[in-house]
Amino acid sequence: GENVEQHPSTLSVQEGDSAVIKCTYSDSASNYFPWYKQELGKRPQLIIDIRSNVGEKKDQRIAVTLNKTAKHFSLHITETQPEDSAVYFCAAPEGLTGGGNKLTFGTGTQLKVEL
Amino acid sequence: DVKVTQSSRYLVKRTGEKVFLECVQDMDHENMFWYRQDPGLGLRLIYFSYDVKMKEKGDIPEGYSVSREKKERFSLILESASTNQTSMYLCASSLFNTEAFFGQGTRLTVV
């Protein structure tokens, strides 16, 4: 089955700096890699995702890069702001031969943006 | 707008009770998931389902069971609640290999 590892578990940056969170996965058949953000007391929500036919995807200040050979993908946040403070999760859905997805998450990264 | 709704926001149950957590989604998603969230441990998959009456064990199924009699509803059952099942429970749904939508969570306390 899929094994997703996420680092670091906590990350503290100064406002305006960049933040990078990395995930590795084990199933070479995985082809969809989402990132979720969970603010305090709220449900996780998708912020960006990437499919295996591209190596990078950007959406304003956030970007995701994917290295299929090395089986890792990373979330990049530039010009961090206090509202970026949250827990970030990576995930790697595993397709089942019988149908459906097993959706496994990393253990999360607590990002704190300090003024 | 996709909606995933969990039946309770907060729940307090006694040790040994049978507990039902209900989740309903309104977007005809085939995949539905139950996770528990504990500090430092992330989102751990308990059970998931990819069709009516179909269920698969996740990473921590012990002490839990599930039921999916209708496509829109996925229930998590704690057969005999124990204090180590005190946690935040999150339901989610998705289509195949697409964004997962989460419910608001149920904070379960077993006393």
> Which residues 59-78 of B have a C-beta within 8 angstroms of A?
59
Mark the ranges of chain A whose per-residue pLDDT is less than 50: none
Residues of A in contact with B51 (CB under 8 A): 99-100
Q: What is the DSSP string of A33-54?
A: EEEEEE-TTS--EEEEEEETT-
Mark the ranges of chain B whose per-residue pLDDT is less than 70: 2
- Name which of A110, A113, A85 is nearest A21 in CA terms: A110
Q: Which tens digit of pLDDT belongs to each residue from A35-64?
A: 999 999 999 999 999 998 888 999 999 999
Residues of B in contact with A36 (CB under 8 A): 100
CB-based contact A43 B90, cutoff 8 Å: yes
> What's the gap in Å between the CA of A52 and the closest CA on chain B?
12
Residue A99: the pLDDT is 66
Q: Which tens digit of pLDDT belongs to each residue from B11-32?
A: 999 999 999 999 999 999 999 9
Q: Is B10 on the interface with A (CB under 8 A)?
A: no
Place of tokens 């149908």: A99
> What's the gap in Å between the CA of A107 and the closest CA on chain B?
4
Structure tokens of B47? Answer: 């059970």
Residues of B in contact with A50 (CB under 8 A): none
CA distance B76 to B107: 14
> What's the gap in Å between the CA of A10 and the closest CA on chain B?
10
CB-based contact A43 B105, cutoff 8 Å: yes
Residue A30: the pLDDT is 86
Cα B21 to chain centroid, rounded? 7
| Residue in B with minimal Cα distance to A43 | B104
